[in-house]
Structure 1
Amino acid sequence: MAMHKLNQAKEACLICGQENVEGIHICNQLICDSCQKRIVETDVTDWKYKFYMNKLAKLRIGQKGRVMETAVIHAGSGGEAGKS
């Protein structure tokens, strides 16, 4: 198993840009475990939430390597931000 990880090409995290093998892939793009955890734990009223949503808006949704469209995510829309 360790040898398999050594042979994997490193990818840059979509959020932080760090090269990381560990993480999740969404639309063939890596989000490292550290960023994933920070995104999940960030409150929608925190300024970092908008930062993460802007980064996630760069996700390219494609099919077989072709870019079909870009996902558009609006920070605060439909979430808890508008609730009091």
Structure 2
Amino acid sequence: PVSPTNGRSFKLDELYQLLDCRTVDVVRLTPELILIIDDEGKFRHPAYLNLLATYLWYQHQPEARGQDSIVGRAILCHDKQFK
């Protein structure tokens, strides 16, 4: 588990370091829960499928099944933890 350094919300620089990336994307799961993901995860070598993040996404947004998947690191958090 990870928590914001300031105890409230993640800052972009912090997310870049935690996810080891240069750009992030937000995947909304519920009105309050989000996944913050490496936006360029699919272009990494080696790239790896994040089964847990993909499963969570499919459970909350079934229309995504068979259309796309989440590759690379992801952080699950409350939407108030990312501004």
The verdict on a shared fold, with TM-score over 0.5 as the criterion, is: no
Q: Which has the higher strand share?
A: 1
TM-score by length of 2: 0.30
Higher relative contact order (CA 8 A, sep 6+): 2
Larger-Rg structure:
1
